[in-house]
Structure 1
Amino acid sequence: MKHNLVYNLGAAFITFFLSAFITFWMTPYIISNLGSEAYGFIPLTQNLISILSVLTVALSSVIARFFTVAITQESYYKAEGYFNTYLITSLVGSVFIFSLIVVAIIYIDKLINVPLNLLNDVRLALLFSGTLVIITFIKSLFLAGPFSQNKLYITKGIEASNAILKALFIIVLLTILTPKIWYVNLGAMIAGLISLFISIYIFKKVIPKISLNTKSFSFKKLKELLSAGAWNSIGQIGVLLFLAIELLVANNVLGATKAGIYAAIIQLPLLLRTIASIIAGVFAPVIIKNYANNNMNGLIIYSNKAVKLNGLLIALPAALMCGMAGAILDVWLGPEFIEYKWLLILNSAYLIFTLSVLPLTHIYTAVNRLRVPGIVTLFLGFLNLILAVYLAGYTVLGLYGIVLAGSIALILKNFLFIPLYSSYITKQQFSIYYKGVLQPIIGALFAVGLCIFLQMYIDITGWGALISTGIIVTLGYLIFSYVLLLNREEKQILINLIRSIVK
């Protein structure tokens, strides 16, 4: 199990660095070729299409849980029923989803502000992003295979290969051909299709006992999956109101130009949110297996360690974005973006403690208590929308109003609700899941202070100085965390894990 955790985390970090490379390279390249206004439509179209995930998440978010429980209990007949029920349903559902994509393509200029010269490009971007949603919907089934074996390093390996292929396709399209915004969506779609085929191949290798059999389709199992995942769909609406609404509000309230600037600025915080979810997912199989084996004490202990480790991993990049915001924007996007450094700082600061607790969300799935989280997420998502529209459109805050709205809503959802509800459904003291939150905050404060101190002596005017400063801060943070933030048991576990890797 320890080896799997190392492999899983290692693969997650590889995926993170590849995604970071794509973001760092792609954003300034497209802005320099197409302008910040055109660039803004890349994440905006992706956010619009992500609304369709509400239709897929009811199945895709719970299939791994039911499949894993069945495999853990060695009920392969039951697992095969879940497999074929999901597969047939996802194929039929994809036809309906594609019809909605076509409608969105036709009426896109009625939904958002699109300059006439970019209208066809935006429509193509919607087509390719929509197709990717369908591919991802189907692929979720096959990723449940390595998940059920706690071999998430295989899943992360697929994601890493997808990131590499995505980067290669985008680079080729943008450098060889005349740059278009939909090249990014096309590259992502092609890479996603290839990763689907890889996922199918690996599933057959990992779970050879499960095969395609239309007779295994069961309306009873479909109802079981939908009943469990329906609240995830409700919650997904709330998630979209957190993540997808920012650019829509910026576009409709402040205009396409401001939305383009904001889209560029928030790429790094959004990337951090994504990697936080990826890392948190590494801990999901053990949490679910502990519950499947009725090991509630093990679930609680492991979840607490997951919160602390997840927080320590997330705190460093968040602190770097806070401590070196001006330098990052100057080197990355150009000096004209330095004036927006507080947008990056404010978008990153509250993530230090709101993303730490994400592993706890898998307790909901393990215990199958998804209704309340879904309702709360939906409510706070609407709160985020209302606050964002009001603060951005009816006060002088502008883009900062969108940031403030998001921070208030996410603090309420993540930092308050997630730990408290997790303790409630596991019948523990309300403070029990806050034990691992303090250390990441302390580590982040140290890293921010070190960033500020180093910039007094280092003039960061290029990539070399930026990277070297980041490396120094990272080394300092690692030493500080090991000496002061890890207890004796955790230090020994870390040493043993490193020894196992070396051997």
Structure 2
Amino acid sequence: MSETTKQFKKQLPKNAIMALLSFITYSITAIWLTPYLITHLGAAAYGLIPLAGLFTQYASIITAQLSGAVNRFLTIEILKPGGNPNVIFNSAFALYLILIVIQLPVFGFGIVFADRIFSIPSELKVDALLLLGFSAGSFLINMLGAVFGVSFYSKNRLDIGSRMQLVGLSLRLLLILLAFSVWGPRLRYIGYIDFGLNMLMLGVSVMVWRKLTPELFISFRNIDRKILGPIFHMSLWTLINQLGSLLYLRTDIWIINRFISPLIAGQYAAILVVSNFIRQMANLGIGQLGPVTMSYWAKGEIGELSRMLLFSVKLFAFGLAVPIALLCVNAKHILSMWLGQDFEGFSLLFMVMTVHLCINTAVYPLFQLLSATNSVRIPAIVTFFMGVTNVAVSYWLGVTLGMGAMGVALATAIVLTLKNAFFIPIYSAQILKMPPRTFIGPLLGGLLVMGAVYVLTKLPVAGWIHVGAGTLAGMVVQGLFISFLMGICGWQFALTSGERKIVIETIRRKLEKLVRV
């Protein structure tokens, strides 16, 4: 077993446990807060909250891609004998400061002309502008904090970032409840709270950065313009890739708000919480793979990397197919219990927005491969042009043909799946010099699992599964039974003997540790 694998297995439990706790907190917050905000603010006002995020989303993408490039080069420099990570860090720090200054007039322009970019009800205009302004400020703080966050990644201490996220989510929920209870429900308070929490997290990030990486320090004498070239080159293509992703995942609400109805945009945004929930569930796992993927590639351990990625895609495809299928089967009951009976009629829209994620989240592990190998140019070009296609098709189906929100959701599902079901798996296999169909098989397996779950819930002979159907207890019993059954099938038919041995060995070690404790 390689040293990288040993270190990965040692740190994985800490990272995974904190990521899981953070995810649970996110889930509880998102699920409970959505109907609360709709009830107190109204659907039209609620729809402006994700639009405020869209306002800064393109700039957040710049931050994410710069962070990804810096993480890659900094990690490799730390692992390299005689490396000089301070040059990477300070060069990146200078680049971030420049970008922050550049963003200021862009955000100012967006806020001044916000009512022409979005459809904002007149009674919400002042609150919407304040929300946008403080969202922009929060982004700039986050951008600066991302520079210091590279320490979490390079030292594989993702558990610290998850712990900070958990605290931030909890405080956000409590402060929103407090502000709404004391001063009444207003959009502006959400902006105030987000800005204040981001200031707090920036301070914590700086303190953790100094503790984790005392060898790093701010010194503009260590800036090397030659380093900026490779960082910017990688960032440029990953930026183009993520701008394409933005055209997939963030323009749907804007199209509905601007060209269909602000009210429908708010309703769509509420249902979209479930899709975001599933993506966060996938990110819970993908976040643990980033550092080890980078380490495997940096050390030339391609065999270990290939096996880990194939195993990860299988787990994602089969593990997420079951809950996604159960959500779709029970869509009507879930929407009624969660958002109220007025949302029962959106069950088909819910399914269209959700079902395709069985493929489009299963490929997440392969995105780490593209970053680690710096194979980002071709995927960026494909993603960007497919994203433009998605916007065009969304407008055509949703507005021109009058299909409304359903047309927008259908366009996103089709175009995104075409890219992730074929191009990403084949291109990733080519990088690893594996057969083109290597990663497509598990994706097809995930679809088969979804079909099997649907059949199980509809078979007359399995009618006892439907006892209590439409109730929370009934859906939990149904979900546990089907998950257990699909887990047995997946263990027997999806995993190889070697993969089963890895799982058994990992569980055995964890049980031994618990017994010793």
Smaller-chain TM-score bracket? over 0.9
Aligned in 2, Cα 1:449/1:180: closer, same or farther, shift over 3 Å? farther
Partner residue in 2 for 1:140: 146
Partner residue in 1 for 2:4: none
Aligned in 2, Cα 1:271/1:99: closer, same or farther, shift over 3 Å? farther
Q: Which deviates further from its counterpart, 120-129 or 481-490?
A: 481-490
Aligned in 2, Cα 1:50/1:330: closer, same or farther, shift over 3 Å? same
How far residue 108 of structure 1 moved from its aligned partner, in angstroms, is 0.2
The answer on 1:254 being equivalent to 2:271 is no
Aligned in 2, Cα 1:437/1:214: closer, same or farther, shift over 3 Å? same
Pick from 469, 484, 494: which aligns with 2:503? 494
CA contact (8 A) 1:51 1:240 kept: yes
How far residue 468 of structure 1 moved from its aligned partner, in angstroms, is 5.5
Using the alignment, how far apart are the partners of 1:293 and 1:249 within structure 2? 46
Using the alignment, how far apart are the partners of 2:51 and 2:457 within structure 1? 32
Partner residue in 2 for 1:404: 410
Using the alignment, how far apart are the partners of 1:184 and 1:448 within structure 2? 40
The answer on 1:36 being equivalent to 2:43 is yes
The answer on 1:18 being equivalent to 2:25 is yes
Aligned in 2, Cα 1:58/1:483: closer, same or farther, shift over 3 Å? closer
Q: What pairs with 1:82-101 in structure 2 (closer than 5 Å)?
A: 82-101=88-107
Give the structure-1-normalised TM-score.
0.93
Q: What pairs with 1:22-421 in structure 2 (closer than 5 Å)?
A: 22-77=29-84, 79-421=85-427
Q: 1:132 aligns to what SS in structure 2? A: helix
Using the alignment, how far apart are the partners of 2:402 and 2:165 within structure 1? 42
How high is the sequence identity, in percent, across the aligned residues?
A: 27
Q: 2:470 aligns to what SS in structure 1? A: coil
Aligned-partner residue type, residue 257 of structure 1: L
Using the alignment, how far apart are the partners of 1:8 and 1:415 within structure 2? 29
Using the alignment, how far apart are the partners of 2:283 and 2:26 within structure 1? 14
How far residue 230 of structure 1 moved from its aligned partner, in angstroms, is 0.5
How far residue 324 of structure 1 moved from its aligned partner, in angstroms, is 1.3
The answer on 1:457 being equivalent to 2:463 is no
User: Size of the alignment, in residue pairs?
Assistant: 501
Using the alignment, how far apart are the partners of 2:488 and 2:189 within structure 1? 42
How far residue 481 of structure 1 moved from its aligned partner, in angstroms, is 3.8
Using the alignment, how far apart are the partners of 1:146 and 1:269 within structure 2? 27
- Gaps spanning 5+ residues in structure 1: where? none
Q: 1:321 aligns to what SS in structure 2? A: helix
Aligned in 2, Cα 1:451/1:331: closer, same or farther, shift over 3 Å? farther
How far residue 135 of structure 1 moved from its aligned partner, in angstroms, is 2.4
How far residue 40 of structure 1 moved from its aligned partner, in angstroms, is 0.8
Q: 1:162 aligns to what SS in structure 2? A: helix
How far residue 45 of structure 1 moved from its aligned partner, in angstroms, is 1.6
Aligned in 2, Cα 1:151/1:117: closer, same or farther, shift over 3 Å? same
Using the alignment, how far apart are the partners of 2:168 and 2:478 within structure 1? 30
Using the alignment, how far apart are the partners of 1:369 and 1:166 within structure 2? 38
Using the alignment, how far apart are the partners of 1:345 and 1:369 within structure 2? 34
Aligned-partner residue type, residue 440 of structure 1: G
CA contact (8 A) 1:76 1:210 kept: no
The answer on 1:7 being equivalent to 2:17 is no
CA RMSD across the alignment: 2.3
Aligned in 2, Cα 1:484/1:172: closer, same or farther, shift over 3 Å? farther
Aligned-partner residue type, residue 406 of structure 2: Y
CA contact (8 A) 1:304 1:435 kept: no
CA contact (8 A) 1:70 1:76 kept: yes
How far residue 451 of structure 1 moved from its aligned partner, in angstroms, is 5.3
Aligned-partner residue type, residue 501 of structure 1: K
Aligned in 2, Cα 1:489/1:82: closer, same or farther, shift over 3 Å? same
CA contact (8 A) 1:3 1:500 kept: no
